[in-house]
Amino acid sequence: MARSSRQSVTIRHVAAEAGVSLQTVSRVVNNEPNVRPQVRERVMEAVKKLGYVPSLAARRMGGSRSYLILALNDRDRTIEGWQLGQGSDWIDQMLYGGMLACAERGYRMIFELIDTHSAHVEREVNAALSSLRPDGVILTPPHSDNPAIIDLLVKQHMPFARIGSDDASAGFAIRMDDGAAAQAATEHLIGLGHRRIGFIAGSEEYRLSGARTDGYRAAMAAAGLPVAEGLVQPGDFSFESGEAAMRAYLALPEPVTAVIASSEQMALGALHVARDRGVDMPAELSLVSFDDTPAVRFSVPPLTAITQPIAPMTAKAAELLIDAASGKESEPGVHVIPFALAVRRSSAAPGG
């Protein structure tokens, strides 16, 4: 352990130490066959003694793999989230699931911010791919359904996983069952005795918005409840759109007794308006959020929420891509990850 200079240990040093060729060291390090147990042992000792760890860059240069998984996130949304610090922990959960899954397999996850709306999406994605040459790409919403990005990836034969997408035509799709989740939230409220339940829809830019609205409608229909005019309000996932929706509900001739917001920010916006107007929650109004974030848990009252399995989805995405890069063919198609409903004080039987 005396090595302490700037010059680091390379495969050469290990080969010399063990008295074998570079090749043999490479084989041992990569767990390849055709090495006698005895020699393997000797090499592993040398590796350990010298503290050898292969250089990522050199591995990428020599071989075909880069041991890198690239996650692409929407620049504007991500930066806005960071600036506002409003407690969406999407990135954190993505890192949690993705980084650990990668680390377990000797991979590394890097993430990049990409402008969806920019005319330069292709240029930006291309730049990241060219620079990093990852073994796989993880797409998060709204990139998961961006045709420009998908086309690019397909053309380059770059394996990719699409989080929150149900499009199985290319790449791996990994999602939770958004429809079932909205349905579960709706059923939860119906079970509590609610009959006039509002639903704040999400941005149509995201495919999952439609699925959620459909799930809500399905649950209402199954219970024989009409979806009256004004019960479904448009939204764009923003706090403001949640506020606007709640104002609309409060202006309805016949009031709603419960509201489901298909995003955390919209739930908080709705909560804000309701509280401002002195609505007693949950006595007069129950509220359910999609997305179980810190802000939702710390709000007053704490909100009942659908827990999106962001970490497990990202972990699954990383696994699939690494398996693919390792030659293991995994089943393509849509992988559905279970969600959960966290029941908190914001939902109760109507009237108290």
Partner DNA sequence: ATGAAAGCGCTAACAG
Partner DNA sequence: CTGTTAGCGCTTTCAT
Contacts to a copy of itself by CB under 8 A: 4-6, 8-9, 51-58, 60-61, 66, 79, 81-83, 85-87, 89, 91-93, 95-96, 99-100, 108, 110, 113, 123, 126-127, 129-133, 155-158, 292-295, 297-300, 311
For the sheet containing 232-233, what is the strand order? 232-233, 197-200, 258-261, 286-290, 304-307, 340-342
Q: Measured between alpha carbons, how far is 143 from 206 in angstroms, rounded to an integer?
A: 9
Rounded to a whole number of angstroms, the minimum distance from the CB of residue 78 to a copy of itself is 9
Rounded to a whole number of angstroms, the minimum distance from the CB of residue 205 to a copy of itself is 23
Nearer to DNA, 51 or 191 (CB): 51
Q: Please tell me whether the peptide bond between 282 and the residue prior to it is cis, using omega within 30 degrees of 0.
A: yes
Q: Measured between alpha carbons, how far is 298 from 293 in angstroms, rounded to an integer?
A: 9
49 binds, among a copy of itself, DNA, none (CB under 5 to 8 A by kind): none
Where on the chain is the footprint of DNA (CB under 7 A)? 7-8, 10-12, 20-24, 26-27, 29-30, 33-36, 38-40, 52, 54-55, 58-59, 61-65
65 binds, among a copy of itself, DNA, none (CB under 5 to 8 A by kind): DNA
Residues in CB range of 156: below 8 A, 6 or more apart: 129
User: With contact defined as beta carbons under 8 Å apart, do 161 and 195 qualify?
Assistant: no
Q: Measured between alpha carbons, how far is 231 from 251 in angstroms, rounded to an integer?
A: 12
What angle is formed at CA 212 by the lines to CA 320 and CA 93, rounded to 5 degrees?
45
DSSP code for 251: T
99 binds, among DNA, a copy of itself, none (CB under 5 to 8 A by kind): a copy of itself
Q: Measured between alpha carbons, how far is 160 from 162 in angstroms, rounded to an integer?
A: 7
Rounded to a whole number of angstroms, the minimum distance from the CB of residue 162 to DNA is 27
20 binds, among DNA, a copy of itself, none (CB under 5 to 8 A by kind): DNA
Sign (positive or negative) of CA dihedral 69, 75, 78, 83? positive
Rounded to a whole number of angstroms, the minimum distance from the CB of residue 3 to DNA is 13
Which residues does residue 109 pair with via DSSP β-bridges, in sequence order? 69
Segments of 121-264 assigned E as strands = 136-139, 160-163, 172-176, 197-200, 232-233, 258-261
Nearer to DNA, 58 or 228 (CB): 58
Rounded to a whole number of angstroms, the minimum distance from the CB of residue 58 to DNA is 3
Rounded to a whole number of angstroms, the minimum distance from the CB of residue 72 to DNA is 21
Residues in the chain: 352
Query: One-letter amino acid identity for 281?
Result: M
CB atoms within 10 A of CB 97: 25
Rounded to a whole number of angstroms, the minimum distance from the CB of residue 8 to DNA is 7
27 binds, among a copy of itself, DNA, none (CB under 5 to 8 A by kind): DNA
113 binds, among DNA, a copy of itself, none (CB under 5 to 8 A by kind): a copy of itself
Nearer to a copy of itself, 166 or 292 (CB): 292
Rounded to a whole number of angstroms, the minimum distance from the CB of residue 108 to DNA is 14
283 binds, among DNA, a copy of itself, none (CB under 5 to 8 A by kind): none
Q: Are strands 172-176 and 334-337 parallel, antiparallel or unpaired?
A: parallel
24 binds, among a copy of itself, DNA, none (CB under 5 to 8 A by kind): DNA
Instruction: Collapse the DSSP code of 85 into the 3-class scheme (helix H, G, I; strand E, B; otherwise coil) and give the result.
Output: coil
